Structure formats: structure tokens, C-alpha cells
């Protein structure tokens, strides 16, 4: 005999879940998107929704487009730059030597 559990064997959400209970679903479109690695993604959109020109590929993260022959280019990643690299872009070697000489002269008390 069961321990008095009237809902034994069922779970939350169990039972018939047809359109009669949920209502009619909106008409859908499945659009194919391709990334630069050739992965295909097929998200579904409501038929009256505006389809975006790009979609992120869930496999590699690259942008994907609807044209299989001409997918969007992967984003260009810039390498990490140190503070010194940014300074070298703004200053020449001669400028650096002049600034260093001025700073050393201040420290020595010559200025």
C-alpha cells in the first residue's frame, strides 16, 4: 500500500500540455545563419518579427550572416598593449632621452 501520497508518480508540469491549454503558438520562421568557420545556426523567429542581419554562432562565437557564400569576417582582436607600448607610440627615442635627462637633473638638484 502506498504511503497515502495521492500524486505519486507525477511531477510538476506533468500532464497533457497541448495547444488547448497553452493557446495557439505564433507562426515561426527558421532562418539559417553561417559563420566564417562554416557552422550553421538555425534560430526561429516569429513570422512578423524583423530578422537581424547578424547572429552570434553558438559554437565559435563569431558573427554569422544569412549568406552562406559570404559570411561576416571574424572580429579582429588587438593584442594587449602595455603602458610602455602606448608611450612609445607617442614619443620618439630622442624625446625619451630628453625627458630622462631632465628628470635626472631634477633629482640631482641641478635644476
Residue 39 is assigned to a ligand binding site: yes
Cα distances (Å, whole numbers) of residue 54 to 1, 28, 57, 66, 71: 59, 18, 9, 7, 9
State how far the Cα of 42 lies from the Cα of 30, in Å rounded to an integer. Answer: 6
Residue 77 is assigned to a ligand binding site: no
Residue 60 is assigned to a ligand binding site: yes
* DSSP-derived pairing of the beta strands 44-46 and 28-30: antiparallel
- Candidates 75, 91, 71; CA nearest to 83 is 91
Find out whether 75 and 36 touch, Cβ atoms under 8 Å: no
Residue list for the binding site for Zn(2+): 35, 39, 57, 60
Residue list for the binding site: 35, 39, 57, 60
Amino acid at each position: 500500500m502506498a504511503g497515502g501520497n495521492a500524486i505519486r508518480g507525477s511531477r510538476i508540469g506533468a500532464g497533457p500540455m497541448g495547444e488547448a491549454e497553452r493557446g495557439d503558438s505564433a507562426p515561426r520562421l527558421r532562418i539559417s545563419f553561417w559563420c566564417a568557420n562554416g557552422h550553421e545556426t538555425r534560430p526561429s523567429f516569429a513570422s512578423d518579427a524583423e530578422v537581424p542581419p547578424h547572429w552570434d554562432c553558438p559554437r565559435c562565437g563569431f558573427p554569422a550572416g544569412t549568406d552562406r557564400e559570404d559570411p561576416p569576417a571574424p572580429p579582429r582582436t588587438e593584442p594587449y598593449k602595455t603602458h610602455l607600448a602606448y608611450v612609445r607610440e607617442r614619443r620618439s627615442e630622442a624625446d625619451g632621452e630628453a625627458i630622462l635627462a631632465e628628470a635626472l637633473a631634477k633629482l640631482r638638484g641641478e635644476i
